[in-house]
């Protein structure tokens, strides 16, 4: 019961799309309404569909499901498909004195013309910001027993910028859409528990120094611990969701009243879908839906190979960052999320992942080599839900083994341990991960 009492026995392509099993029937109606706004496309204004108009003028996709495919992971583009569920965050180097207010509330300094995210689509009458092209370099790494594993490294190219040249010191950070399951449970983990696990000075000298990101809470107007997003730069499901509406689809809300369109792009001259375009009521339904997607139960838990893999997972110190178990706190009016024993395999903290995965771009306290530990629950079903799903922040890893071998930095000792394993041991560890 990885997700506590709300875990579900669903293991097919719909494995990530069910409500918490312990949710009341009345709340399931709210879940269904939220699902409709999450799944169905938004349209440009003016439109007869007044509840879901206002798309753009600049955007990446026209629905939440466009990136979070079947509520699961997205994927980078292929030779035959565009990178719809992968996008580039944009920034420029910051001057802490001159940009202090922007850094405190935004976490970084956006590109002056193109904003904080590259939008590759637009409504009629507006030009998309640019085309995103991904190229791949493939190489192999050799393990101790002579086995060779092919890895691929992406490079990103911004072609045909429509609003003038990009800043000469542009910083980019590729992000693929993560899975949606268990977010409400992660939000319910007490902050004190996250901070108790942090060890920013590596006081126990184990080489692992997780630390919490400190980010701006738009609703509370204060700095708090971040826990969502690839760099833990969002403090809540609501803020993460409304930020995605603004950045990914060009839709305003009370919490995020401005899109990523900058003055030089003249978006104000085009029709909009009201102020705000996402009403508070719709925002509540979306956040409720996003907090209510259930975690599938474990599979093959008692199999000897899985049991061996679990031991190897611990021996390799993977659990030092991918913390197996948490207990949620009390959540007002959400008994389905309250006091649940859950197994997400994450500490929600920032860790140095090495130069190979670095984006070189700070976000609040997260530096260019740090990423939040992603939860592992459901990872064995990721490609059942979306066969093209990739792993890691940019989807570069096509398999779990590739994802493991990209780890470095604080995970250097763990990867050295993995490289020394026999083929049977490696398969056992992968079998354990696939059981999650």
pLDDT tens profile 6-49: 999 999 999 999 999 999 999 999 999 999 999 999 999 999 88
The residue whose two tokens read 């922040």 is 393
> How far does Cα 142 stand from its chain's mean position?
30
- DSSP letter, residue 228: B
Domain membership of residue 92 as a residue range: 4-434
CB 295 within 8 A of CB 6: yes
Helices (H), 156-303: 183-187, 191-197, 237-249, 280-292
CB 335 within 8 A of CB 329: no
Mean pLDDT of 241-259: 97
- Residue-wise pLDDT for 112-161, tens only, equals 999 999 999 999 989 999 999 999 999 999 999 999 999 999 999 999 99
How buried is residue 164: exposed, middle or buried, by Cβ count under 10 Å (0-12/13-18/19+)? exposed
Q: Do you know the residue count of the chain? A: 436
pLDDT bin (cut points 50, 70, 90) of residue 339 is: very high
- DSSP letter, residue 217: E
What's the CA gap between 425 and 183, in Å, rounded?
32
What's the CA gap between 421 and 415, in Å, rounded?
10
How many Cα neighbours within 13 Å face the side chain of 435? 22
pLDDT of 81: 60
Residues in a beta bridge with 109: 92
What's the CA gap between 143 and 415, in Å, rounded?
10
What's the CA gap between 368 and 376, in Å, rounded?
23
Long-range contacts of 327-335 (CB under 8 A, 24+ apart): 327/189, 327/193, 328/4, 328/185, 328/188, 328/189, 328/190, 329/188, 329/189, 329/190, 331/184, 331/188, 334/184, 334/188, 334/291, 335/22
- Residue-wise pLDDT for 203-213, tens only, equals 888 999 999 99
pLDDT bin (cut points 50, 70, 90) of residue 84 is: confident
What's the CA gap between 22 and 24, in Å, rounded?
7
* pTM of structure: 0.96
User: Shortest CA distance to 193 belongs to which of 349, 320, 364?
Assistant: 349
CA angle (352, 354, 355) in 5-degree steps:
130
pLDDT bin (cut points 50, 70, 90) of residue 50 is: confident
Mean pLDDT of 61-83: 85
pLDDT of 99: 93
Q: How many domains does the chain have?
A: 1
């Amino acid at each position: 019961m990885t997700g506590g009492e709300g875990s579900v026995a669903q293991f097919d392509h719909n494995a990530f799309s069910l409500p918490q099993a312990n949710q009341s029937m009345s709340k399931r109606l709210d879940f269904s309404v939220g699902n409709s706004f999450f799944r169905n496309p938004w349209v440009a204004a003016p439109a007869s569909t007044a509840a879901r108009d206002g798309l753009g003028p600049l955007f990446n996709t026209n629905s939440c499901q466009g990136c979070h495919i079947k509520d699961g992971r997205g994927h980078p583009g292929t030779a035959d498909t565009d990178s719809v569920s992968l996008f580039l965050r944009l920034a420029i180097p910051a001057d802490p004195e001159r940009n202090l207010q922007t850094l405190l509330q935004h976490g970084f300094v956006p590109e002056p013309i193109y904003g904080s995210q590259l939008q590759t689509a637009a409504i009629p009458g507006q030009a998309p910001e640019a085309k995103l092209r991904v190229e791949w370099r493939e190489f192999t790494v050799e393990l101790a027993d002579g086995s060779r594993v092919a890895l691929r490294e992406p490079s990103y190219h911004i072609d045909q910028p429509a609003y003038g040249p990009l800043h000469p010191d542009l910083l980019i950070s590729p992000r693929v859409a993560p899975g949606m399951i268990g977010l409400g449970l992660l939000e319910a983990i007490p902050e004190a528990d996250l901070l108790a696990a942090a060890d920013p000075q590596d006081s126990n000298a184990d080489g692992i120094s997780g630390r919490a990101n400190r980010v701006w809470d738009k609703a509370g107007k204060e700095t708090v611990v971040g826990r969502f997003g690839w760099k833990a730069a969002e403090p809540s499901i609501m803020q993460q969701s409304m930020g995605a509406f603004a950045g990914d689809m060009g839709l305003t809300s009370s919490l995020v009243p401005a899109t990523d369109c900058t003055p030089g792009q003249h978006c104000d001259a085009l029709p909009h879908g009201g102020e705000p375009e996402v009403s508070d009521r719709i925002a509540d339904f979306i956040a409720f839906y996003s907090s209510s997607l259930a975690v599938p139960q474990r599979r093959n838990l008692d199999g000897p190979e899985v049991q061996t893999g679990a031991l190897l997972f611990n021996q390799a110190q993977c659990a030092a960052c991918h913390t197996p178990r948490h207990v949620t706190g009390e959540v007002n009016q959400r008994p389905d999320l309250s006091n649940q024993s859950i197994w997400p395999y994450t500490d929600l903290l920032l860790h140095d992942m090495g130069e190979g995965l670095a984006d070189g771009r700070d976000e609040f306290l997260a530096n260019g080599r740090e990423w939040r530990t992603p939860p592992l629950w459901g990872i064995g079903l990721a490609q059942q839900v979306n066969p093209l799903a990739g792993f890691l922040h940019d989807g570069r890893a096509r398999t779990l083994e590739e994802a493991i071998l990209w780890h470095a930095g604080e995970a250097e000792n763990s990867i050295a341990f993995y490289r020394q394993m026999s083929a049977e041991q490696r398969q056992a560890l992968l079998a354990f991960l696939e059981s999650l």
